[in-house]
Amino acid sequence: MTSPVKDRKSADKDWNIHQDLLEGVKFKKLANVCDERGTVCEIFRFDWMVSGEPIVYVYQTSTYPGRVKAWHLHRRHTDRLFVATGMLQIALFDDRADSPTRGRINEFFLGELNRGLLVIPPGVYHGWKNIGEKESVVIGLPTEPYDYEDPDVFRVDAHNGGIPYSWAPRDR
């Protein structure tokens, strides 16, 4: 039998997620406000100071249950992502040569059960897996609109692209 490994700190007493973020990555915990009519959740406000750049483009993308959309990065723009429906396992990998967090991974579990705005700087690989039972919808608010003539998207294979991360379930 192998020796047991102690869990790392994952949250504080107020259930704020604890992880050392990659250089330039920002995360803003969000919440649903509920009443007898339904819910509302703010997605983005400039006064949160998570991204000072204006909203110039908004898109939506969906992912079917069990499917992976990974890995890609942007060289020119920052991604700002909000999971509107479903539950996603989102992973980030820092391969920027000049970054103090090069070689590190961040992982987030975001969606209807855990609201948040994730800000991903240029040069950070990112992707996700739908870990829920229904189609998930992501709202993207990048700092630049999509360039049809010169797309700012660079991809590597989701499973064999050299990123040290597995999308396989991990039982603990």
pLDDT given for residue 16 in this prediction: 67
Q: Is pLDDT larger for residue 45 or for residue 91?
A: 91
Is residue 12 scored above 80 in pLDDT? Answer: no
Q: Quickly tell me which residue has 């039982």 as its tokens.
A: 171
Q: What is the enclosing helix (H) or strand (E) of 106?
A: strand 105-111
pLDDT given for residue 14 in this prediction: 67
Angle at 47 between CA 88 and CA 41, to 5 degrees: 40
Q: Considering only 10-14, 55-59, 72-76, 94-98, which range has the smallest mean pLDDT? A: 10-14
pLDDT given for residue 3 in this prediction: 83
CA distance 112 to 133: 12
Do the beta carbons of residue 124 and residue 73 sit within 8 Å?
yes
- Whether the predicted model's global pTM rises above the 0.85 cut: yes
Is residue 17 scored above 70 in pLDDT? Answer: no
Provide the token pair at 49: 């100071």
pLDDT given for residue 156 in this prediction: 97
What one-character DSSP code corresponds to residue 55? P
Tens digits of per-residue pLDDT, 69-103? 999 999 999 999 999 999 999 999 999 999 999 99
Tens digits of per-residue pLDDT, 143-154? 999 999 999 999
Is residue 50 scored above 90 in pLDDT? Answer: no
Taking alpha carbons only, the member of 25, 26, 163, 166 closest to residue 95 is 163
Domains of the chain by start residue, with CATH? 26-155 (2.60.120.10)
Is residue 8 scored above 80 in pLDDT? Answer: no
Task: Quickly count helices (H) and strands (E) in the chain.
Answer: 0, 12
pLDDT given for residue 103 in this prediction: 97
pLDDT given for residue 5 in this prediction: 79
Do the beta carbons of residue 112 and residue 87 sit within 8 Å?
yes
**Beta-bridge partner residues of 73:** 154
